[in-house]
Amino acid sequence: MQEGTIFFLISWLTVWYIVFMDNKSPRQRRVHLTIILALLVCAGVYMNIGNIQVSLIWVPVLFWSFFQWRIIRNRDLFRVSVSVFGVMLAFACFRILTMLYPVWLFIDWKILCSLLVIAVSALFLKGPNMRLSTLIIGSLFGQMIFAVLLNINGMPINYLFSLESMDLLSLLVFMNGVLHLGERWLAKWSLRKSSMTVAARNRDIR
């Protein structure tokens, strides 16, 4: 699969959804469209940090991610830190595995890696925004660790957070949204089931 395909596909599908299916107010839709189009523009712009090219898209993405941490309470800080460390470790280990044993992978590594880090993050966090921010920050650190390991072993890279990383980013956003919708549906189903059980018990008592 060509690098960037997943990123651009999900981005334009999101634009289509906002334009034709979103029920939010026109102002909210304009804001969301502006954000997505700005990210698409930033995806093609790179900045040089030393000898490494870094995609500009990670500047607003990281700003948003760290901005979510403003609401973290002290008692939740440890859990968030463990989640970031777990995502970072899972990402780095999986990337090393895909490099050493690529023949094992029948599915694109980005899809499998997204599922893995989503599962790790879901073990510690429930809020969709906080979970997504830890996914982004953890995968960022994981990519940096992977790049350092490659450099130590004589395989330096000239870019970080390229179109391949944007594919992973878009998959993380998409899967996190699907997980959140599934959690909401499960909560409503459980509430409806408990309400039916209580109503049935009340009828039996009467």
Q: How confident is the model at residue 205 (pLDDT cuts 50, 70, 90)?
A: low
**What is the mean pLDDT of the segment spanning 104-130?**
79
Q: Is the pLDDT of residue 156 over 70?
A: no
The whole-angstrom separation of Cα 39 and Cα 57 is 6
Nearest alpha-carbon partner for 170 in 135, 123, 126 = 135
Q: What is the pLDDT of residue 147?
A: 80
pLDDT at 43 over 80: no
Two tokens, residue 181: 């919708």
pTM for the model: 0.77
- At 18, the pLDDT band (50, 70, 90 cuts) reads confident
pLDDT-derived band at 60, boundaries 50, 70, 90: confident
**Cα dihedral sign for 117, 119, 124, 128?**
positive
Model confidence at 30, pLDDT cuts 50, 70, 90, reads confident
**Measured in whole angstroms, how far is the alpha carbon of residue 83 from the centre of its chain?**
13
Both structure tokens of 61: 């993405």
- Cα four-point dihedral sign 173, 36, 63, 130: negative
Between 102 and 138, the higher pLDDT residue: 138
Residue 151 has what pLDDT? 77
Q: 47 forms bridges with which residues in the sheet?
A: 54
Residue closest to 8 by CA, chosen among 49, 29, 48, 36: 36
Does the pLDDT value for residue 45 go beyond 80? no
Q: What is the mean pLDDT of the chain?
A: 78
The pLDDT, as a whole number, for residue 63 is: 83
| Cα–Cα distance list, 163 to 45, 117, 205 (Å) | 11, 19, 63
> Do residues 203 and 40 touch, judged by C-beta distance below 8 A?
no
User: What is the average per-residue pLDDT within 31-38?
Assistant: 83
- The pLDDT of residue 198 is above 60: no
Lowest mean pLDDT among 88-97, 142-151, 197-206: 197-206
| CA dist 167 → 30, 40, 191 (Å) | 24, 12, 36
Q: Say what the pLDDT of residue 158 is.
A: 61
The per-residue pLDDT for 119 is: 84
